[in-house]
Amino acid sequence: MRIRFLILLALIIGSPVFSQLRKAENVIVITLDGFRWQELFSGADSILIRDSVYTEDREQMIAQYWDASPELRRRKLLPFFWDVVAKKGSLFGNRLYGNQVSNANPHWFSYPGYNEIFTGYPDSAINSNDKIPNPHINVLEYIHKQEPFRNRVAAFSSWDVFPWILNEERSGVPVNSGFESSGFPDYVFAMLDGMQRTTYRPLGDGVRPDLLTFYMAFAYMKKFKPRVLFIGFDETDDLAHAGKYGPYLQAAAMTDRLIAELWSYIQGDPMYKDKTAIIITTDHGRGDRVKATWKDHGRKVPDAHEIWVAAMGPGMVSSGEMKANGRWTQSQIATTIARILGLNFQPGHPVALPMNELFTR
């Protein structure tokens, strides 16, 4: 009888239902600036990829990313999302099914969007991308002040405005941003710092190449083992603003490969394996209905409030691509990040409820 009981217990503990009940001990937050839900859920746009104004190397891009089937071309563009996240986690925001995620802030551009993601408060008074310290408590700051997470939270971003968005000075969360040096003397960081100093800067001095941002964050993760890590990618937005659809697709595909590399590392590290959740989203959408508006966003651009969220890890259900009618807002992400870790984000400003569908069917 005792042997039967132990076998039954082992089967229960190993089952997907039981594993979903476990709380994550670590969380990775990733953003792809201005990456549209249209490409996430349907792959390359049939009009833009064939338009010589926006896609100079059409033959190569069509060969690499095109298929008549939206399901196949989205997998060509983002295999990690569709081979891993869609099977192990949940993806919200495919408006073709009435599944809608939106900015709650009225501005539909970067600083207001990132403020909403991390503070849960769509403050209409935050209405520029200026380097102004954010007055609102953000969820990384809140987590950082909880004893199990003290000095175990870090942020890395390509865009150099994040030290102000996350209010690094007040929050105490280290934010390595733009072309900021790592500050660490060992070989790997010295090499990355050297690459930063000498690299070509196609997007100006305020935006570090996403590849460097990722490997700076990855090196930090391996060395210091943070329990909460934010990585903010940027190139999808800047390339879209420049009207370069082919490079926009390539930047998204590269980011997908980098996230896959990160996830592979997580699965092989005892501290992170089966204990780490990942949540991926964007700060704003882009135009859609008029072809030229895909480059832009902001409140004057229809559809620029349309975003998406993907998540997977312990403590969350695996619903795959969400196809039911539903509405969620960007302001729910902050409390969702906290809930993943079993915390209740309660700052001194209003916040939205978590995305509870991630935790219950």
Domain tally for the chain?
1
State the average pLDDT for the chain: 93
Examine residue 54 and state whether it is found in any structural domain, yes or no.
yes
Backbone angles phi, psi at 309, to 5 degrees: -145, 135
Examine residue 6 and state whether it is found in any structural domain, yes or no.
no
Tell me the mean pLDDT in the region 150-174: 98
Tell me the mean pLDDT in the region 73-95: 98
pLDDT band at 288 (very low <50, low <70, confident <90, very high): confident
pLDDT, position 19: 37
Q: Please, are residues 239 and 248 in contact by the beta-carbon 8 Å criterion?
A: yes
CATH value at residue 75: 3.40.720.10
Examine residue 266 and state whether it is found in any structural domain, yes or no.
yes
pLDDT, position 202: 84
pLDDT, position 11: 40
Examine residue 341 and state whether it is found in any structural domain, yes or no.
yes
pLDDT, position 15: 40
pLDDT, position 192: 97
Residue 133: pLDDT above 70? yes
Instruction: Extract the tokens encoding 110.
Output: 């970067």
**Neighbour tally for 293: CB within 10 Å:** 16
Looking at the chain, the whole-number percentage of residues with pLDDT higher than 90 is 89
Examine residue 18 and state whether it is found in any structural domain, yes or no.
no
Examine residue 3 and state whether it is found in any structural domain, yes or no.
no
Q: Please, are residues 277 and 315 in contact by the beta-carbon 8 Å criterion?
A: yes
The reported pTM is 0.93
| Residue 299 Cα distances to 61, 132, 227, 240, 287, angstroms | 31, 21, 36, 17, 10
Domain boundaries, position 159: 25-358
Tell me the mean pLDDT in the region 234-250: 97
Residue 239: pLDDT above 70? yes
Tell me the mean pLDDT in the region 53-68: 96
Backbone angles phi, psi at 70, to 5 degrees: -60, -35
Examine residue 220 and state whether it is found in any structural domain, yes or no.
yes
Examine residue 7 and state whether it is found in any structural domain, yes or no.
no
